[in-house]
Chains A and B, each alone.
Chain A
Amino acid sequence: MAQESNNSDQKLIGLMAQFDDPDSLLVACEKVRKAGYTKTDAFTPFPLHGIDEALGIKPTILPWIVLSLGIIGGTAGLALQYYTNAFDYPFMISAKPTFSLPANIPVIFELVILHAAIAVFIGMLALNRLPTFSNPLFRVPEFARATDDKFFLTVDINDPSYKPNKTRELFDGFRGQTAVLEVYEDPSEANLPPVIKIVGLCAIVIALIPPLLLWKAYNSTSTVPRINPIRDMDVQLRADTQTTMPSDIFADGRAMRPRIPGTVSRSDSLDTEFVTGIAADSDEQNVVFLQEEDKPAEPAAEEPAEEKPAEEAAEQPMAEAPADGQAPAAAPAEENEPNWVKIAPIKVTQSTVERGQKRYNIYCSVCHGLAGDGDGLVSQRAIEREQPTWVPPTNLHTDYLLTQPDGKIFNTITHGIRKMKGYGDQIPPEDRWAIVTYIRALQKTRTGTESEIPAVELKELEIKGQ
């Protein structure tokens, strides 16, 4: 055969006998072992009982490896649960102890099995030196049936008992032997071709790049917003304050939508005086609902500021704010001053003032102070910390405020002024008017005269005074 002629210049590394049935193999194995051979092996399509003894195969240490890994797995499972749930991040659930062994048993059990099973697999492969893809036996054509229905016995040429003729004789004499084959060294390159090595190395290096980049990104800071492949709720289709909407949603890019011309909001009262603080007269009664588009062509001369839309009203007091050394040129502002409501358009009772006091203490007192002196805690702290941009809140007892019409104070509460924000969104109109009446009451505490106090109460005060 061609195979045999090629073998002449190759190094013989072993002798192999082929058998058709397992029992002949077992007998031959026994013989070989008795003859003192140690570098022997048998090859069978299935595990053969009794071959370990016949060939003198020692028991494997695999169970000990598995036992150690099982113990490690169990210890790791216990330590993991103690560290995570009782030490690093204690969970308090229904006042149960953070560490309770019974609840930890399932995970410990599973980790024991997992570690042990992986140890069985890796340990078996490692002890068997698998994978081994190169094996001179594969070059013997008959050996292909070792995984099918033939049985083989080999003796290594390096075996101390190996003697060419004597061993051959032994092999020829096996009962049931169907062929004696020679195993030659594999002359092909044992190592992987360098090309594959280089490609493999490149592949490893390239594969390392993404995790390294991730690691770098994880451990460094950057001014660039992070890449957020899954956006969860970080990114939503909505406009935040001070941002514009994507122009494909609204052509003007505005997030706050102006009202559709000619519509009325359900929440708006039709009582202009009540919601704006501006006295109504026949020309101005629809002032709040006017949109920019509805504006008469030349408003400035005949109908001054009254017709400005509600949104813009906020800017108006700011422009004309004269207080605290910031007063702009007041002359044009005076001309544009709306026709403020003089007296709050609500029925004032004891409970209104008390309501106003509560609202004032909640919303206003933090800056303006409980007594209205402009010395609220926020202001005190800002001054203490020398905040350069802080504009001290107005003292509500100044003449400037004493003479202001109720409507204007109402408007300031609604839309804010200077640093003060508008409270129109938080405080309903009736409460804003209540606050105005309370401010008036506060002011009275400084400006009131004896004659304004009812006689009964005056008497009481006198009694207390003494």
Chain B
Amino acid sequence: MATVNEVIDTTIDDPGNRTPLVIGGHNYGSVTELVCRINESKTPIAWYIAFAVSLMTLGMFGSLIGYLVFTGVGVWGNNNPVYWGFPIVNFVFWVGIGHAGTLISAILFIFRQNWRTSINRFAEAMTIFAVACAGVFPAVHIGRVWVFYWLFPIPSLQLSMWPQFRSPLLWDVFAVSTYATVSVIFWYTGMIPDLATLRDRTKNPILRIVYSVLSLGWTGSARKWSRYEKAYTLFAALAAPLVLSVHTIVSFDFAVSQLPGWHTTIFPPYFVAGAVFSGFGMVLTLMVPARQIFGLQDVVTKRHLENVCKILLATGSMVGYAYAMEFFIAWYGGNLMEQFAFVNRAFGLTPWAYWVMVSCNVISPQLFWFKFCRTTPWVMFVVSIFVNIGMWFERFVITVTSLQRDFLPSSWGEFVPTWVDYGMLVGSFGLFFTLFLLFVRFGPIVAMAEVKSVMAHPHHDIHDIPQGDYHDDEVDH
């Protein structure tokens, strides 16, 4: 039996022993305490400072959107021939980050990776906020935001026509809006039992009402758990292919066009790998400090982080393979335009962007071959920042270099971002962190019910109970 002070190194692989997912000798009550303490303790000053900064950045984002809407898309650097500039780069960047949460919740659930329970809530919240950030960019990129509903097949007398369903851009509308909807209800469904825990603990009457309404009167009834569990499994089964479809369809936006550098069949798997890579990168960026700040080392152990690092190593290498394969196919395919497009990426107008991308995405995760790097939080944090930067540049390189240099030199041009472009990129982080800080303050950031279900039974070992008792047919009658 583990005592509270006993330190277990969960990063040691002992085939004879299943590594505990929660260390520090916790029981059910202390897990509740550990997680709810984050919400119930006095709000730290640091939170207020961080929130104020995020809110100001969000305010800037809102003002820039207002400026954009009232002035027009000319405030961006988008112009012939680079009509897809920062807005689409930012969209793909954020929607990629938004892949980790649902992937952890759905695919790791299906593969019975129980370690996901410690980080899934956190990652799902991150997913939803990232998708929210992603959704802003195509919405404002359409120019006339007030007729955004034309994207959907809604009968409109003004337009008197329907959307074009054979366009990948419309598939994107369906994919991203479905993904956002499903992620939100999946996340919320997962939170209902934990919101009930907060409801039953809180002393604050206002929060009690809020948590009561949000937890829908959840009691933890076994009959309800039974349907809930089935629902959760169904969600996972539906969300797993959905996660893979979303970035596949995002990649179609590029791959279905005929532009050299975009028109490649490798895009769907390459984009999905990149999305998982960037999503897990962002999970690490947020999880490493959060675990430290909120004292969650017992629930989010080094083994959890190590697993995330291994996923980063795997997906980062897949992305590296895709980069290499793009070059190989450009040469092997014998298409001069394609060859030019890729040589231009690496050595053309913005070679620094390409090499930032390669070094951040392919080289930096290779550190995770070393166990020291996989188990040292500050190394992971630094690498995760590199991954975030690299993945933004990947989208920048794909989008901008191909548009700048297409088939005819007469239609070449250069992309110069404006201050509004930079402001909106920074501002989207304001939206992300504002939502995130609100969530860590008021929401259950660890899925307590799920963690408890994968914990080793603390006080009782199941073998302590006489088998006869459990299967006794003749009790008291």
Contacts and interface: CB of A to CB of B under 8 A. Distances in A.
A145 B199 CA distance: 11
Interface string A18-49: 00111110110111001100000111111111
Contact of B196 (A91, A128, A147, A170): A147
Contacts of B453: 46-49
A62 B189 CA distance: 15
Contacts of B164: 85, 91, 93
A22 B453 CA distance: 10
Contact of A21 (B168, B249, B459): B459
Interface residues of A, number: 82
B457 A23 contact: yes
Given A57-B226, A110-B245, 17 more contacts: A23-B465, A34-B475, A34-B477, A35-B477, A57-B223, A60-B226, A66-B238, A84-B162, A109-B245, A110-B249, A117-B181, A118-B185, A131-B217, A133-B217, A135-B219, A146-B219, A149-B29
Interface stretch (A99-107, A287-295, A312-320): A99-107
16 contacts: A23-B465, A26-B470, A43-B219, A47-B226, A47-B449, A52-B226, A84-B162, A84-B163, A85-B166, A110-B178, A110-B245, A117-B178, A128-B228, A131-B216, A149-B28, A149-B29
B28 A147 contact: no
B42 interface: no
B203 to A, nearest CB: 12
Cβ-closest 7 pairs across A and B = A149-B28, A131-B216, A84-B162, A124-B231, A149-B29, A42-B222, A106-B171
A51 B222 contact: yes
Contacts of B374: none
Contact of A48 (B170, B222, B224, B464): B222
A45 B163 contact: no
A85 B164 CA distance: 7
Contact of A103 (B165, B242, B457): B165
B229 interface: yes
Nearest to A87: B162
A437 interface: no
Given A21-B459, A42-B221, A147 B166 contact: no
B230 A60 contact: yes
Contacts of A116: 234, 238
Contacts of A81: 165
Nearest to A35: B477
Which of A66, A145, A149 gathers most chain B CB within 10 Å?
A149
B320 to A, nearest CB: 28
B450 A62 contact: no
Interface in A48-107: 48-49, 51-52, 55, 57, 59-60, 62-63, 66, 80-81, 84-85, 88-89, 91, 93, 96, 100, 103-104, 106-107
Interface string B436-477: 000000000000111011000101101011000111110111
A144 interface: yes
Interface in B168-222: 168, 170-171, 174-175, 178, 181-182, 185-186, 189, 193, 196-197, 199-201, 212-213, 216-222
Contacts of A147: 193, 196-197, 199-200, 218-220
Contacts of A57: 222-223, 226
Contacts of B189: 120-121, 124
Nearest to A47: B225
A319 to B, nearest CB: 48
Given A43-B220, A47-B453, A120-B231, A35 B225 contact: no
B131 to A, nearest CB: 14
A113 interface: yes
A310 interface: no
B344 interface: no
Given A31-B475, A34-B477, A91-B166, A114 B220 contact: no
Nearest to B196: A147
Contacts of B464: 23
Contacts of A135: 217, 219
B216 A125 contact: yes
B175 A106 contact: yes
Which of A62, A118, A143 gathers most chain B CB within 10 Å?
A62
A45 B230 contact: no
B115 to A, nearest CB: 16
A43 B182 CA distance: 28
B22 interface: no
A424 interface: no
Interface in B398-452: 448-450, 452
Interface in A110-142: 110-111, 113-114, 116-118, 120-121, 123-125, 127-128, 130-135, 137-138
A21 B220 contact: no
Which of B28, B165, B448, B453 gathers most chain A CB within 10 Å?
B165
B161 interface: yes
Interface of A: 20-24, 26-27, 29-31, 34-35, 41-49, 51-52, 55, 57, 59-60, 62-63, 66, 80-81, 84-85, 88-89, 91, 93, 96, 100, 103-104, 106-107, 109-111, 113-114, 116-118, 120-121, 123-125, 127-128, 130-135, 137-138, 143-149, 169-170, 173, 175, 218, 229-230, 232
* Chain B interface, >50% SS class: helix
B228 A149 contact: no
Contacts of B473: 34
Contacts of B213: 131, 133
A417 B292 CA distance: 90
B194 to A, nearest CB: 8
A55 B449 CA distance: 20
A30 B470 CA distance: 7
Contacts of A91: 164, 166
A175 B469 contact: yes
Contacts of A138: 219
A114 B242 CA distance: 9
Interface string B78-102: 0000000000000000000000000
B162 A35 contact: no
A47 B302 CA distance: 26
A393 B242 CA distance: 73
Interface string B285-329: 000000000000000000000000000000000000000000000
Given A57-B223, A130-B217, A175-B469, A62 B29 contact: no
Contacts of B178: 110-111, 113-114, 117
B371 interface: no
A388 to B, nearest CB: 37
B68 interface: no
Contacts of B201: 144, 148
A107 B171 contact: yes
B235 interface: yes
A278 to B, nearest CB: 49
B227 A47 contact: no
B174 A117 contact: no
Nearest to A44: B220
A370 to B, nearest CB: 42
Nearest to A49: B453
B32 interface: yes
